[in-house]
Amino acid sequence: MTPARHNPPLAALLILAASALLAGTTLLAKALGTDELGPPLHPMQISHGRFLFAFLVIACTVGVLRPRLSRPHWGLHIGRTSFGWVGITLMFASVAYIPISDATAISFLNPVFAMILAIPLLKESIGPWRWFAAAVALAGALVLLRPTPDSFQPAALLALAAAASIGMELIFIKKLAGREVPLQILLINNAMGLTIASVAVSFVFRTPTSEQWAALAGIGVLMACAQACFVNGMARADASFVAPISYATLVFAALYDFTVFRVVPDHISLTGSAIILFGGLVLVWREARTAPPITSRKDPNR
């Protein structure tokens, strides 16, 4: 498979597009989880719609492009998809109760959880700078939880659990990296996710309104497009270059929340988000210093 040409400006545009699309999925999830489009849908039904319509988009893409597929590593796919389904379901549950920007900021903890989980699962060693970044980011999450009797947000714990679950998913993604082509990974992930979600939704399914069907389809299509933009953006520049750009998701989330729900981030939201972003950027900076240059790496798909 021919590697993508190194093109940082195009990579930046693709990651920005992925950020805008990803924030759009949480906006639609919030509309579905509240009474904006009709009686609120259960988070498991929202995640089912996400996997259903994303699978249809990716399956059609595979049918058109016909990439060369290899033998999948089923164990890794099952682990990745299971934790991914739990993470996205918890994320959709949280945005129905807390600002989208708060839930999005807490979701940025997933690489921190992945880093911590990599110690026992991948036998990786973690240096002092990484521990510092993790501590800072977790402190920011504590601020967003508002741990006082008058302002504590229990729903923020759902977003925190979602970040931990997606952090575990990242461990499986890391093990899958280089084993299979990205489109095959996306296809299998969404097919398995749809299977799990279909079983789960059978206990809570309620016939959506026409507006809710449109929003569910929107979540799936936006998610599929966001994944495509992100994968292609990552292929065209160093991870240390594109990772900070992905934090634009928080800006888009706050903008959407204000435009649609008139939610204005308060000083606690801004402070907690800023602390998490600082911790994340420290982690990105450290990774950039320790990673080899892109020209010295072999393309895993060649």
Per-residue pLDDT band at 298 (split at 50, 70, 90): very low
Task: Give residue for tokens 């993470």.
Answer: 87
103 in any annotated domain: yes
272 in any annotated domain: yes
The first and second tokens of residue 111, run together, are: 């690489």
289: pLDDT strictly greater than 50: yes
What letter would DSSP give residue 36?
S
Give the span between the Cα atoms of 15 and 3, in whole angstroms: 18
Give the span between the Cα atoms of 172 and 176, in whole angstroms: 6
Determine the average pLDDT of the residues in 66-88: 93
pLDDT of residue 1: 47
263: pLDDT strictly greater than 80: yes
300: pLDDT strictly greater than 60: no
pLDDT of residue 204: 97
Q: Which residues, including other chains, have CB under 8 Å from residue 197's CB and lie 6 or more apart?
A: 44, 47, 48, 50, 51, 52, 85
Torsion angles phi and psi, residue 39, rounded to 5: -55, 135
Higher pLDDT, 7 or 13: 13
Give the span between the Cα atoms of 284 and 244, in whole angstroms: 7
pLDDT digits (tens, 9 = 90+) for 21-47: 999 999 999 999 999 999 999 999 999
11: pLDDT strictly greater than 60: yes
3 in any annotated domain: no
302 in any annotated domain: no
What rounded mean pLDDT belongs to the chain?
A: 88
Q: Residue 125 class from Cβ within 10 Å (0-12 exposed, 13-18 middle, 19+ buried)?
A: exposed
1 in any annotated domain: no
Q: Which percentage of the chain shows pLDDT scores above 90? A: 61
Q: Quote the number of domains for the chain.
A: 1
CA angle 86, 48, 30 (to 5 degrees): 80
pLDDT of residue 14: 92
299: pLDDT strictly greater than 50: no
Q: Which percentage of the chain shows pLDDT scores above 70? A: 93
222: pLDDT strictly greater than 60: yes
Determine the average pLDDT of the residues in 83-106: 95
pLDDT digits (tens, 9 = 90+) for 228-260: 898 788 778 876 677 788 889 999 999 999 999
Torsion angles phi and psi, residue 238, rounded to 5: -65, 145
The first and second tokens of residue 74, run together, are: 């089923």
Domain that holds residue 203: 8-292
Per-residue pLDDT band at 176 (split at 50, 70, 90): confident
301 in any annotated domain: no
Q: How many CB atoms lie within 10 A of CB 164?
A: 21
18 in any annotated domain: yes
Determine the average pLDDT of the residues in 99-117: 91
CA dihedral 142, 143, 148, 150 (to 10 degrees): -130
pLDDT digits (tens, 9 = 90+) for 186-215: 899 999 999 999 999 999 999 999 999 999
Inter-axis angle of helices 154-176 and 74-94, nearest 10: 160
Determine the average pLDDT of the residues in 71-84: 94
Per-residue pLDDT band at 173 (split at 50, 70, 90): confident
pLDDT of residue 4: 61
The first and second tokens of residue 282, run together, are: 């420290």
pLDDT of residue 291: 60
